[in-house]
Structure 1
Amino acid sequence: MQLHLLRIALAAFAFFLGVLAAPAPEPRATTGISQEVFDELKFYYQYASSSFSDKCAKPNGNVFVKRINNAITDTQGFIARDDDRKEIIVALRGSGSLIDGLVDIAFVPVPLISRGINPPLFSFIHAGFLTAYNSVADVIINTVKDELVVHPDYTLVTSGHSLGGALASIAGLSLQQNFHNNTVRMYTYGQPRTFNSVAAFFVNSKFGNRAHRSVHVNDVIPHIVPQGILDFRHHGIEYWQFVEPAVPANFKSCNADGEDPNCSKTVRSIGGPSAHEMYFDIQSGTIFCS
């Protein structure tokens, strides 16, 4: 809790600068989402939440494949397989330690260099997030490759909350670039900006409507890495829960370019820890492992 309070405090100044500099809202967002989309977003959040567990025997009731764990960068998660949906899921854990806090604030942009990813020139990314992902990239890619030998037609899915959301977005791009014959979808929750504009538009070009990014009311963490001179930018479709409670009518489906000014960027207040830790009325870290 103290780590999240510190991150929220550090975010406040950058957030307000971003709000003041934001362009006027445009009529892009659609209010209300279908029950099907709502249930899908909630279902994959349960993977993200379960990634906080050191042992998850049956993630979302499905097959546990492999634990992800790098002690140096404190990057954890798991790989699961859903044989009913024909999916291989990579879930990555959000912040939970001082090391994670250091990863979060290392937002110097660096070239997007990771195994199998071939981005356009001038693609940059948050240094801390890239370092953390690259520390587990080989484990993820090699394990998914082994699974696809047995299940070659399965869809690949990534999921994560907060820091885990940033890592899940990199993992999603990584899987799309390494496994061209498989459909890849990504689901992130309370994700801070991760890529610069060139890289974010590259992600959009590869994913279209298969990149899902949820924001809960006035959660400040999605704004913790400012756009400004460093040129960070969100990617994918933002699904913004603009008011309580978490029901389909209280969400907006936002423009697919990632920075719809009519969605969470319109918020003029900073939420406390509950705004960041509670998605779909589920406390982050709640386990769905049986």
Structure 2
Amino acid sequence: MNDQLQVPDVITAGEAMALLIARQPGALSRVSEFERATAGAELNVAVGLRRLGFNVGYISSLGADSLGRNLAEFMEAEGIDRRQLRIDARYPTGFMLKSSTDDGSDPEVEYFRRGSAASHMSLADMPGGAFGAARLWHITGILPALSHSCRELAFAMADAARAAGRIVTFDPNLRPRLWPSQDAMIDTINDLASRADVVMPGIAEGRLLTGREEPAAIAGFYLERGARKVVIKLGAQGAYYASEAGSGTVSGFRVPRVVDTVGAGDGFAVGVISALLEGLSLQDAALRGNAVGARVVQFRGDCEGLPNRAQLEQALAGERG
């Protein structure tokens, strides 16, 4: 089949960023050496699904700079469909700094993304043709936080996908610093979540977004508003899942040593989405999400722990809590 006619299994849209990771533990203000990697929640999901054998299309915009070229080369090496990746010389590629920790705590992160090329995405970036015929469209709460035009794109994608009978998965991925206020963030995220088929919040995110405490109540909030399935990340305790077919909790996997917590939620999304694409139950999808998330936290960088098929099987065979 001609590459231009290839229909991806999954498409997603977001901001790819250069990631500079501190080589030694400590405050970012005192770090003298960094190593370069890649970042971006949607890019992490795209990479993870591609490593599991799915065809994945990615929508974004990069600056015409060395950071952008490095990211484009990384996507090419990972086999991601870049038909709708734009290079916009008017604006820079975003990047972020991340500290290193040696005690399993969350690292310090600083973003440099204001006015980036990706923040200027708009309705002109709507997927079309064979690209837009993907079975599943993955959206996160980061895209609508980047700018007004990105917000329009996120809602248009969700509405178009659902109207066409595609599967829409949504990860809130809250970034409070990108929003003008907490209320604006909550209202927009919940509105977007109501247009998705599968919603995947973390437990802390769910409590903030819904005002409800227990996983069952949080899931009920989204099921009442149009979602068909909800999977809630409970950290080391595992995950809670709910749909019309039933609900329950699956335990997490034991991790010998936590190296880097950033990217674990994206790994969880990779596990859930890949399982659903393969027709597995929501319970099995939550279990796979736990397995991939547990593997990711054992590696530095956002993408390094995302598994291939053989590594996924090893992760699923790990000891559960």
TM-score w.r.t. the length of structure 1 is 0.38
Pick 1 or 2: higher relative contact order, CA cutoff 8 A, min separation 6: 1
Query: Normalized against structure 2, the TM-score is what?
Result: 0.35
Question: Which entry has the higher C-alpha Rg, 1 or 2?
Answer: 2
